[in-house]
Amino acid sequence: MHCFDVSLSIICPCFNEEGTIKMFLEKLIPIMQNVQRPYEIIFINDGSTDNTLNVLLKAKSKNPQIRILNLSRNFGKEAALTAGLEHAMGEVVIPIDADLQHPPEIIIEFIKKWEDGFDVVVGKRTVRTGEGVIKKLTAKYFYKFHNQISDVEIPYNVGDFRLMSRKVIEALKRLPENQRFMKGLFAWVGFNTAVVEYEQAPRAAGKTSYNGLKLWDFALDGITSFSTLPLRIWMYIGFLISFLSFLYGSTIVINTLILGVDTPGYASMITVILFLGGIQLIGIGILGEYIGRIYKETKKRPLYIIEKEY
């Protein structure tokens, strides 16, 4: 089978989704049949520890359009999504989550926009049902902060749910980095883009695997992947502290030599040492974050390993 033997490729990374796959396919397959184009549904089993693989195999036995990429362990959603994009054969590719927060019926609107000439059609959430207030606020301010410091603007409330033409997929496949922030990469490649709005539904079953720590790591990946401003900021802070230190030192010299004012030293010295020590450690930490990314990239390890394709 070669590219364009299928017209549409649906990409669905899965991690412990045994409770949602059946419901997801019950909604998705009738929609794909109504589209009346050759299609494939690629599930990427990202090291699930539950019964996800067996559920997928059972579904494949009933629907030959289903393909399963079983990864050797959990590599993370970004790697699983990349695996799906690299193995998709369709003229257009649509990543979607199996938890039904992305409504499959929107795919029809995606295809209409693509037929109108758009290479990218993104799904924009107007309502983020099933998410707490804190998560909504942190997501909002993360994207605001990211777009302020980065040359690549990521639209707010736009995730991985989108349609991409084959030329977009081929452009993404040329990006070699190991530490991948897919939302940023999608925005970086560009192409003419349309927007389709939808209301995000709550998860059909199960619970999200993204906790606070994973979201924090995800935010760091996004910032360090597309901006060096955090490094530059600490250079400016260093210049500012040096200038203020010079002014303070000059004041002490003038007071001591000219005015004869005795300056008690211990408390102020300890305060300054602790302050500067903290500043240095923060700067080293930020520098270390970038060096760590360089270290991982130079190893050139594969982004994922496929244990078996079904």
Average pLDDT over residues 2-10: 69
For CA atoms 188, 136, 287, 173, give the dihedral sign: negative
- Residue range(s) defining the domain that contains residue 69: 8-227
The pLDDT tens digits for 240-255 are: 777 777 777 677 667 7
Average pLDDT over residues 165-169: 91
Q: Which residue has the higher pLDDT, 70 or 19?
A: 70
pLDDT at 157 over 90: no
Q: Which residue has the higher pLDDT, 107 or 231?
A: 107
Q: Mean pLDDT score of the chain, rounded to an integer?
A: 80
Neighbours of 158 (CB within 10 A): 18
Rounded Cα gap, residues 90 and 165, in angstroms: 9
- Residue 103 within any structural domain of the chain: yes
For CA atoms 170, 173, 176, 181, give the dihedral sign: positive
Q: What is the CATH number of the domain that holds 90?
A: 3.90.550.10
- Residue 187 within any structural domain of the chain: yes
Split at pLDDT 50, 70, 90, the class of 78 is confident
Q: Verify that 26 and 153 share a domain, yes or no.
A: yes
Q: Verify that 115 and 58 share a domain, yes or no.
A: yes
- Residue 55 within any structural domain of the chain: yes
- Residue 189 within any structural domain of the chain: yes
Lowest mean pLDDT among 31-40, 85-94, 192-201, 226-235: 226-235
CA dist 245 → 18, 241, 242, 249 (Å): 61, 6, 5, 6
pLDDT at 263 over 70: no
Q: Which helix (H) or strand (E) holds 198?
A: strand 193-200
- Residue 284 confidence (pLDDT): 78
- Residue 11 confidence (pLDDT): 92
- Residue 204 confidence (pLDDT): 59
Domain count, the chain: 2
- Residue 259 confidence (pLDDT): 67
Q: Is 6 helix (H, G, I), strand (E, B) or coil?
A: coil
Split at pLDDT 50, 70, 90, the class of 45 is very high
Average pLDDT over residues 27-49: 89
